[in-house]
Structure 1
Amino acid sequence: MAKKIIVSRRNFLKNTGIAAGAAALSTIALPSAEAAQHASHMNDSGVNLHRARMFFTNTFEFDILSNAAERIFPKDERGPGAIDLAVPYFIDNQLAGAWGYNAREYMAGPFAPGAPTQGPQTALIRRDLFQQGLLAINAAARKQYSKNFSNLKGPEQDEILKQCEAGKLPTEGFTSSYFFSELRNAVLAGAYADPAYNGNNNMDGWRLKEYPGAQMSYADIIESDKYEKMDPISLASMQ
């Protein structure tokens, strides 16, 4: 776990893929967790974005999500972290939609403890899993540090998240390790999804990877022998 949370951005970006973010989820997202709950504005790419919290009406829970996401994908000298990339809003909006209801997944049971190769065995839909998982993280922070998770220092937050990933946090109906896996995947999705879904603010997640985005054509450079660096293009800019 330590290597996953306290890893350098260079190695983190090297070991994570664009596809993990772009394909895993789809819906909507804001550059800062402290930003207004409702906003409509043009970003630096000329894309009109409409962002709002749709699931976490409770700011307390949204702040836990924002702080946890930032520790998983932190801001550093190479670029923005999860909060500046609007990842918390992206996840919030996903949970409000079909992904949050497990709409395309079999959820009829029976549910019983299974082998690791059998995947998650929980009756909870994803929106309830996230809500309860975030509260479990905060409960651990209260027990161990007598503070809410959002008020802990970075290394203290890392320690709680390590315990979460290791399956050591008390939970009901799911393991904390499963929740951490879902949370981490959602953070990556928000960082790398097309800004049309209101994550990856200003395409800065793509810029970290020098990913070109939705280019219309490569015909003019396809035969070039040199590396061609170009500004990314979002599907949202084509609307």
Structure 2
Amino acid sequence: MAVEKKGLSRRDFLKTTGIATGAFVGGGLIGGLVGYNVNKEGQVAGTGDHKGAGGEPTAVSNRGLMYFTNMAEFNVLSQAVERIFPEDDLGPGAIALGAPYFIDNQLAGNYGSNVKEYMQGPFFAGEATQGYQSKLTRAEIFRQGIAIMDEQANKRFKQGFVDLEGAQMDEIITAFQKNEIDMKGVSSEFFFKLLRQATLEGVYADPIYNGNVNMDAWRMKEFPGNQMTYIAEIENEKFVKYEPVSLTSMEH
């Protein structure tokens, strides 16, 4: 990619395009978000305790799996989200930040079951500007998309998705983004958008939701988290860098 040849890291790309500061950009984002430094050791990072202000461990609601019962599915998800938000010299990637656990936990709840959304027919293929148009729940879409990722890996490269090289993973993820993959009840482009959005939410969410381990994603953005007050610095004309604070610190 051109950004790499010029010495521009993918995290630099996120910062210069506004992604890392919360301004999610639609369209052809995969070229900037896909990375190459993936943990291929078969283990998922980001399983340790979160730490709050001052480096003290803070409570986490759950560090185990709540939706995925098959570790093979979870490992495919983990490698896919790492391609979208990779580790680089500026900080950890999606796996180390716990984004796979965040997504798993969300799929086990109201987000995954669409319980608070209108889910009755008729179902038509909507325009790009329209909202949710599938009869499938998000949990069903994720499970199908993950299975098809693995099928595509075996079809194209005779290996499982988690055993592929980075560029091979990128080829498959990009095919989903370009809507070149057949899925039932939903477009592959829609699945890609769900996956990308859930990844970024898992990276930047408050650690109480099992993402953003140790608030390291906030530190990369110099985001202060959930401070009790800013009154001491409200008239300060200089930028004040705060140690971020998680909602977990308010539980005690």
TM-score normalised by length of structure 1: 0.86
Q: Is the 1:101–1:125 Cα contact (8 Å) retained in structure 2?
A: yes
1:172 Cα deviation from its structure 2 partner: 1.1
The structure-2 alpha-carbon separation of the partners of 1:45 and 1:59, relative to structure 1 and needing over 3 Å to count, comes to same
Cα distance, 1:236 vs structure 2: 0.6
Q: Residues of 1 paired with 2:12 and 2:172: CA distance?
A: 24
Q: What is the one-letter code of the residue matched to 2:13? A: N
Contact 2:87 2:94 in 1 (8 A): yes
Change (3 A) 1:211 1:131: same
2:235 to 206, 223, 231: 223
1:83-139 C-alpha deviation (Å, 9 max, x unpaired): 000000000000000100011211011102233233342100010000001111111
What is the one-letter code of the residue matched to 1:55?
A: Y
Contact 2:9 2:88 in 1 (8 A): no
Change (3 A) 1:53 1:119: same
Note if 1:168 corresponds to 2:170. no
- Would the alpha carbon gap of residues 105 and 7 (structure 1) be closer, same or farther in structure 2, given more than 3 Å must change? farther
**Does residue 63 in structure 1 map to residue 104 in structure 2?**
no
Structure 1: gaps (5+ residues): 21-31
State the match for 1:47 in structure 2. Answer: 58
Moved more, 169-178 or 180-189: 169-178
* Aligned residue-pair number: 224
SS in 2 for 1:52: coil
Give the counterpart of 1:81 among 93, 99, 109. Answer: 93
Per-residue deviation at 1:227?
Answer: 1.0
Runs of 4+ in 1 over 3 A off after TM superposition: 17-20, 39-45
Deviates more, 1:74-83 or 1:109-118: 109-118
Equivalence for 1:13? 15
Calculate percent identity across the aligned residue pairs. 45
2:170 is the counterpart of 1:158: yes
Of 34, 41, 58, 2:43 maps to 34
Q: Distance in 1 between matches of 2:213 and 2:240?
A: 23
Alpha-carbon separation, structure 1, partners of 2:80 and 2:190: 15
Contact 1:2 1:162 in 2 (8 A): no
Alignment of 1:127-166 (within 5 A): 127-166=139-178
TM-score of the two chains, using structure 2 as the length reference:
0.82
